[in-house]
A = this chain, B = another copy of it.
Amino acid sequence: MKLDQSQHILIVGLGLLGGSYAMALKKQGFHVAALARREETVQYALENGIIDEGSARIDRDLIGQADLVIFALYPHVFLEWITQNQSYLKSGAILTDVTGVKGCIVGKIQSILRPDTEFIAAHPMAGREVCGIENSSDEIFKGANYLVVPTEKNTPGAIELCTDLGEKLGFKRVAQLSPARHDEMIAFLSQLTHCIAVSLMCCNDTPGMEAYTGDSFRDLTRIARINDEMWSELFLDNKQALLAQMKRFQAEFDNLYHKIETGDREGIREMMRCSTERRKRFDKIG
């Protein structure tokens, strides 16, 4: 099952990611409708050609026409939306999302969802340190990873459709993993890095440091500019996995601290050679 241009796409939520999805799909020739919370957002998206049609209310027609519904909402808002509005969905509709945690949400959605529709979870590994539709850009998907997160309830057809969506959006690499595995990986690769950046930025308030800094500090704190409402929810929704990864990092950092304290130069160099070697795998591809 692949996406084709006869299918109606509805995006629910027009923030940074919802807007970027809309742009990418419009460029691919799809008819894109959207629902947003605020009227200004819908107007902005229409005026800038980001969507074909949209509404700031629960428009039963738009919902009922959609073959593919993409949810770009906070986890708890997504769950509420399904509870309140799933009766308006077309029979056979495929639902997907962009939510940054999966364990706490995928099972719940799949268990309450109408049996004549299907939810296949996904997580685009792309974003920016700013939010809102005015910062949207389909450029953020270039060279990036897209994660499809199926469960045993998903059909091969929906998994294929979701994979095809990732490719059509412009992602470089589409991978598949289970909700538990996803949350473990994201705790390490994304949530831990945000914890580090926030802590680094908060731990020192010496005035004027911006005149002394180089790029390393800028790089490590780029994501310290963070949407506190969204990320605090994601952290707590994935608490156990995140705490485990934080401990893992702390142990290694303590290890390096000890080597520096004892003047173990060869031990320090060994860690650096390890990090240099491993980092090579993470360069962004084409």
List A residues at the B interface (Cβ < 8 Å).
125-127, 144-145, 147, 173, 175, 177, 182, 185-186, 188-190, 192-206, 209-226, 228-229, 231-233, 235-236, 239, 242-243, 245-246, 248-257, 260-261, 263, 265, 268-269, 271-276, 278-284
**Could you say which residues of chain B place their CB within 8 Å of the CB of A204?**
188, 245, 248
- For this complex, 8 residue pairs linking A to B, each with C-beta atoms less than 8 Å apart, are A127-B214, A189-B209, A196-B200, A202-B274, A221-B279, A228-B268, A235-B260, A239-B260
The residue of chain B having its C-beta at the shortest distance from the C-beta of A263 within the complex is B236
The residue of chain B having its C-beta at the shortest distance from the C-beta of A195 within the complex is B256
A6, chain B: closest CB distance, angstroms: 32
Partner of A218, one of B236, B265, B282: B282
Docked complex Cα distance between A258 and B224 (Å): 18
**Most-contacted residue by chain B among A268, A274, A279 (CB, 10 A):** A279
Docked complex Cα distance between A279 and B228 (Å): 14
**Could you say which residues of chain B place their CB within 8 Å of the CB of A236?**
260, 263, 265, 268
* Given A214-B189, A275-B225, A279-B225, A196-B196 contact (CB < 8 Å): yes
**Could you say which residues of chain B place their CB within 8 Å of the CB of A245?**
204
List of 4 A-B pairs having minimum Cβ-Cβ separation, nearest first: A203-B252, A228-B272, A125-B214, A201-B275
A221 touches B261 (CB 8 A): no
